[in-house]
Chain A
Amino acid sequence: MTGRAKTGFTSSIAAVTGGGLASLLRTRTIVALALLLLGLVAGIQLARPGTVNALWISNMVLFAAPLGIVAAGQTLIMLTGGIDLSVASVATASAYLMATHSGLGVAPAIVYGLGAGFVVGLINGTGIALLRVQPLVMTLGTGLMTEGILVVYSQKKMADAPRVPQFIETIGAGKFLGGVPNDLIVWLPIAILLIFVLRRTGYGRLLYAIGDNSEACSLAGIRVWRVLLVNYVTCGLLAAAAGLIIVGGTNSAELRLAEVYLLPSVAAAIIGGTSIFGGRGGYSGTIIGALILTVLNSILTLLDVPESIRQILYGAIILLLAAAYTRLTG
């Protein structure tokens, strides 16, 4: 390839005409994913004409937002080559803590919820960044720990039942201007901020650099542990924020509330082109990944596909995409 001669536009044209989806996926990940998303939407409209309308789209965004926010944290972690298996427990804990402290007022209750994310994130970060524990094992342990503490706590708190404040419910389930979901108010700033941080700040650069080669970062004078510590705390906070939105949507703080978000959070990032080895990807891909999963879910619900087939399809899609990305990027 002559490199300079080919502009981005011509090379993406060449990808479409020449190498098909595989090379498009490599050169213009976001474009390929957006096409995939549109294809899914078109598929729904063809299968069940009339399904796709303003209400449906607004519902898709409403449902995608909590996943998008959990996956935001997961993306940050995966960019550094790690994985966080505690996000679901953190989201649940945050929702539950918030709901049981709602008597104190909305703001303190939210602080309690986010506090759970901060503490678990800090523990994860300490183990992984300072003591170099494998992220998987560490977050597995803290996830179990959080879940267990929550169960014990819930039984102590039997007396004052958790109550979801009106404000949280409005955020998690309401809409304004005749159809814009309220949780977009939370998701949109997070998305914009994250995309900016990843593209245009030193912190973002470091995340990619550490995921690519943390040894090289160390040699270049970067104290990798600081970045990782901050990153795991951030991920914990994002998961906690997502938990608040989730509980606002369901309006009941259950003990296994956010469990279903764990694998999809990893899946959204992988589908969006974030490498499982770190160093590649970004949040815009994850957003589309979250939307694809939500639409896929909606299709499967429409077609009345049982939970079992859903799981298998989910797993198969992630495996195939992960294998494809692994092959393409070497």
Chain B
Amino acid sequence: MKGPDASGMRLLERLRRALRRDPSLFFMPALLIASLAITLAIHPQFSDFDLQSLAMGALPLAFAAAAQTVVVISGGLDLSIGSAMAVANVLAARTMEKASFEQSLPLAVAVLIAGAAIGALNGLIVVLSRIPDVVATLTSGFIWGGVALIILEKPGGGAPPDFLNLGTGTLFTPWMPNALVLLVVAVGAIWIPLRRSKLALQLYAVGSDRVAAFRSGVNIGRTRFAAYVFSGLFSAVGGLGLTMTTGIGAPLAGVYYTLSGLAAVVVGGVSLAGGRGGMLGPVMAAFVLTLIPTDLIFLNIDPNFGQVILGTLIVVIVMIGGFVDMGRNRK
């Protein structure tokens, strides 16, 4: 119920509303800038090389977070993301080892399709078997882990240098890492069209209120299935990113990304209850989480503290969330 506001006011109003809807829009950039500032403060000689390794380190994690975000928004959970990434990682490293750059690109597309297929199978299991998503994806993750081991038993394989350069090189200036460009392009190319489509509305609707969504004519099963397909797709991109940044395929690299990806989602302000949050928060959270061990190294502290901080961060955030909800319910 609005009168003829000045356009500046309207912009402010829209911004205010967007922030209220998704506080992480403000909170996450602030957190990212703060952690960058801290990094600069403790390590003033922060170089273009440091930026590159930050971007390379965050790349797979950001995709793992993106994969989880889609499913969590739809009110589900996917614990097979790390294994799906591992499959994509070893598939790429195995098939591209002796390929030329020109050959590697169609192979990359094939890996993406394989990732989407893994997601589709996960989706089918969850929707059709009625096993709770947690158990279903925890177990299917085990299976995908086995598949990754079949493809490549030990760390190895490789990819053409030009392909690796997509993740390790820089664009125009040394301060513009390809990993960052790749991340922005890939997430943007998948998420922005999705966000504008009706499917995104359906994902949010199913996560927010299944009954209302059903009554609004949303096909619940199909929507949840789609969420897992996108999760598989993002996982595959993450797996490719892993190949690019590490140069090899490692069948066991996956496990780490399931958990830390979920951590990035939680830190990034996506409600685990579903229906709320966006893609920007988790992706930025991936950078913050990557900065933590980096800063610890700069501070001469055991970087393994990073995992302690990660675990503590998850626990503290969900406990605060529970505490807030409890206060709300008491009323």
Known: A132-B322, A312-B143, A323-B129. A145 touches B311 (CB 8 A): yes
The interface size of chain B toward A, counting residues with CB under 8 Å, comes to 47
User: B134 contacts which of A83, A149, A308, A315 (Cβ < 8 Å)?
Assistant: A83
Question: Which residue on chain B has the smallest CB distance to residue A316?
Answer: B143
Q: Which residues of A contact B11 (CB under 8 A)?
A: none
Q: Which residues of A contact B131 (CB under 8 A)?
A: 276, 319, 322-323, 326
Query: Could you tell me the dominant secondary structure of chain A's interface residues?
Result: helix
Known: A148-B308, A152-B304. A311 touches B321 (CB 8 A): no
Minimum C-beta distance from B85 to chain A (A): 16
Docked pose: A266 CA to B132 CA in angstroms: 14
**Stretch from A4-12, A135-143, A206-214, A279-287 at the B interface:** A135-143
B266 interfacial by beta-carbon distance below 8 Å: yes
Using a CB–CB distance below 8 Å, which chain A residues touch chain B?
Answer: 83, 123, 126-127, 130-134, 136-138, 140-149, 151-152, 155, 263, 266, 270, 276-277, 306-316, 318-319, 322-323, 326-327
Docked pose: A103 CA to B191 CA in angstroms: 57
Known: A306-B153, A307-B149, A308-B150. A145 touches B142 (CB 8 A): no
Q: Which residues of A contact B100 (CB under 8 A)?
A: none
Whether B308 lies near A133 (C-beta < 8 A) is no
Using a CB–CB distance below 8 Å, which chain B residues touch chain A?
Answer: 77, 125, 129-132, 134-136, 138-143, 145-150, 153, 259, 262-263, 266, 272, 302, 304-315, 318-319, 321-323, 325-326
Docked pose: A309 CA to B153 CA in angstroms: 11
Q: Which residues of B contact A152 (CB under 8 A)?
A: 302, 304-305, 308
Docked pose: A276 CA to B305 CA in angstroms: 34
Whether B325 lies near A146 (C-beta < 8 A) is no
Whether A134 lies near B311 (C-beta < 8 A) is no
Q: Which residues of A contact B153 (CB under 8 A)?
A: 306, 308
Whether A322 lies near B139 (C-beta < 8 A) is yes
Docked pose: A8 CA to B143 CA in angstroms: 38
Chosen A-B contacts, 9 in total, with CB atoms closer than 8 Å, are A127-B322, A142-B311, A266-B138, A307-B149, A309-B146, A311-B142, A311-B149, A319-B140, A326-B130
Minimum C-beta distance from A329 to chain B (A): 11
Docked pose: A142 CA to B316 CA in angstroms: 10
Minimum C-beta distance from A327 to chain B (A): 8
User: A131 contacts which of B138, B148, B308, B326 (Cβ < 8 Å)?
Assistant: B326
Q: Which residues of A contact B125 (CB under 8 A)?
A: 319
Docked pose: A306 CA to B145 CA in angstroms: 13
Known: A131-B322, A131-B323. A123 touches B307 (CB 8 A): no
- A-B pairs, 8 with minimum CB distance: A145-B311, A148-B307, A311-B146, A131-B322, A144-B311, A308-B149, A141-B314, A148-B308
